Amino acid sequence: MHHTAILRPPAPTFAAGITTAGLGRPDYEKALAQHRAYGEALQQCGLELILLDADDRYPDSCFVEDTAIVMEELAILCRPGAASRRGEVAAVAEVLAEFRPIATIKPPGTVDGGMSCGWATTSTSAGPNGPTRRGRGSWPVFCLMVDILPPRSR
């Protein structure tokens, strides 16, 4: 059961983030409103929020789920595949160090924590061919709450 969520609001540079969706330029004001509503929904579910400051240096830094994989025993700090996102990890690492022992992904390894997300009572996992998303809707964003599955045998 999750009790705490780490959130970071979109920075004013949010629209310059990495995307392949082809949906046009993101609307910063709409992203802020959605983020506020998301935080309120998490609080209504009984979660305590740890709010980080927005960081203009990293347009994608609101997606904190990519920065770490958190398990009951420890937190694994990720090394994002996009070099431009690697600086996002430090602020989340500082918070997680208060709650868990820390392990890190070392170069040349890369992993984005959002590729291993819990979804309700089922989980998705990232494998060598990318994320498994069958039967799932949109993945949760803006919040670090992840569960890890062992690799599936082939």
Tell me: pLDDT of 149 over 90. Answer: no
Tell me: pLDDT of 91 over 70. Answer: yes
Q: List the one residue out of 52, 65, 58 whose CA is nearest residue 16.
A: 58
In a domain, 30, yes or no: yes
pLDDT at 1: 57
Chain-wide mean pLDDT for the chain? 79
Tell me: pLDDT of 142 over 60. Answer: no
Q: What pTM does this model have?
A: 0.72
CA-based angle 67:5:99, to the nearest 5? 75
In a domain, 69, yes or no: yes
Q: What does the pLDDT average to over 117-122?
A: 39
Expressed as residue numbers, the domain containing 73 is 4-131
Cα–Cα distance measured from residue 14 to residue 4, given in angstroms and rounded to the nearest whole number:
24
In a domain, 25, yes or no: yes
CATH number of the domain that residue 89 is part of: 3.75.10.10
User: How many domains, in total, are found in the chain?
Assistant: 1
pLDDT tens digits for range 40-51: 999 999 999 999
